[in-house]
Structure 1
């Protein structure tokens, strides 16, 4: 039986450009043993399988897969799933993923999640000297099975930075917009940030000294894709 996959772009700019593609699947339509196969076939950096909220509740649960592995937490899938649930008429306050309970909020065109910094996967963080050096980086130079986050300030005073993410060990040569990496860099720098990643995706973060980070962004629906 064909499976309907809603394809979103998460962390677009204010004009709806860029953003990281995400597959969203109603978990009730897929056997758990087929999740990894579907995520691999789709080829997005992540695909999320969502258990819809029970009637009268405001919490859902979900499982996240890259083309190669399952993740306990990831940022752009949780933001995308929260946005998708509101579009379905079932906005939520919390989303349960294997790492823990993600808090959700909505503010006009922004969808936000709040997560623990330690839930984000470990990264090798590279502070580069310029945007030119960042844009010239070759993903093949970082194909060692480690997730690499390259970044540089574009406006330190305003907390604005430019970033790229390479994660070949997760089956992702370059990730267009990485919410979990934004959580890590926000905690690392201990301040609120505006992150422009990849070709121009935009992620907003808020730092909390108790180890929580809020990640916010815009989402665009690119329609339905059907796979067997």
Structure 2
């Protein structure tokens, strides 16, 4: 009986059964694209990663990322979790594990720094693979219909709802408070309507909504909805957090700054996650976004490929 091994970890948390679960399939070189998609659909996590030998031996691995419905070019929590899993090994494809891993992905090369405590890898940090790009604005009515709220709950004090990306495109919108954030419920018809009107890249229309939770504008609470990817709600979304953080820093009046942003996500699901983002801005342009978080192992096992 042929098998392939997997490990699951909870990402952006140090507490098991919180954060965002991820399955990492190592030794995936013998799997077809169709098999990878079926495995990802079977797990039904927001993403599953498949680790293959790198095309360039200077890199650590080639990593492919699948949602339950499609392959995507980049995502935050899959990179953090995959690096954490590989960081537990003595070597990767015959090379010793150092402090930095380089993953070949559809979005480009993703660099991951491993964070150790008492010699053990406990967390990882990744650099967003692309520059900040801002797309079309979106009406408040469209956002509200997607999450079953009154349009008045969607505010434009800092910015209008808009598409933002540092490697993967998301709709981002600010809500008027925690009560509205808690009341949000994905409306599949609204998402289908929004996807029909808007042009996205890399995946279906996904919506990241947030509120400022304290007087510190860099403390944020968020929720992520992607029902068209069969992810009604995601407990931690590093790529969306990075896009939002970069966009908010780009709007700040300071031409030069370095800021740490903390995004709390998944609270309403009972899977609290903490995503740290370090954003650099120089001459009015966001030049760097680093996403970091802790991980904790949960399960390991084997997938049966044939009887």
Common fold, TM-score beyond 0.5?
yes
The answer for the alignment partner of 2:184 in structure 1 is 137
The answer for the alignment partner of 1:217 in structure 2 is 293
Q: Please state how far the C-alpha of 1:18 moved relative to its aligned partner.
A: 1.2
Worse-superposed segment, 32-41 or 61-70: 32-41
The answer for the alignment partner of 2:125 in structure 1 is 112
Which of residues 137, 153, 169 in structure 1 aligns to 2:212? Answer: 153
Count of residue pairs the alignment pairs up: 226
Cα contact 2:166–2:243 (8 A) shared by 1: no
Worse-superposed segment, 58-67 or 38-47: 58-67
Instruction: Determine helix, strand or coil for the equivalent of 1:5.
Output: strand
The answer for the alignment partner of 2:280 in structure 1 is 208
Larger Rg: 1 or 2? 2
CA distance 1:16–1:222, change in 2 (3 Å):
closer
TM-score, with structure 1 as normaliser: 0.90
Cα contact 2:80–2:123 (8 A) shared by 1: no
Cα contact 1:3–1:226 (8 A) shared by 2: yes
CA distance 1:172–1:211, change in 2 (3 Å):
farther
The answer for the alignment partner of 2:147 in structure 1 is none
Separation in 2, partners of 1:43, 1:2 = 19
TM-score, with structure 2 as normaliser: 0.68
CA distance 1:221–1:52, change in 2 (3 Å):
farther
The answer for the alignment partner of 1:11 in structure 2 is 12
Greater relative CO, 1 or 2 (CA 8 Å, sep 6+): 1
Instruction: Determine helix, strand or coil for the equivalent of 1:35.
Output: helix
Separation in 1, partners of 2:21, 2:39 = 15
The answer for the alignment partner of 1:198 in structure 2 is 266
CA distance 1:211–1:202, change in 2 (3 Å):
same
Cα contact 1:161–1:194 (8 A) shared by 2: yes
Cα contact 2:107–2:167 (8 A) shared by 1: no
CA distance 1:156–1:103, change in 2 (3 Å):
farther
The answer for the alignment partner of 2:243 in structure 1 is 184
Cα contact 1:207–1:213 (8 A) shared by 2: yes
Gaps of 5+ in 2: 92-96, 117-121, 133-164, 196-204, 250-258
Separation in 1, partners of 2:215, 2:108 = 32
Separation in 1, partners of 2:17, 2:280 = 29
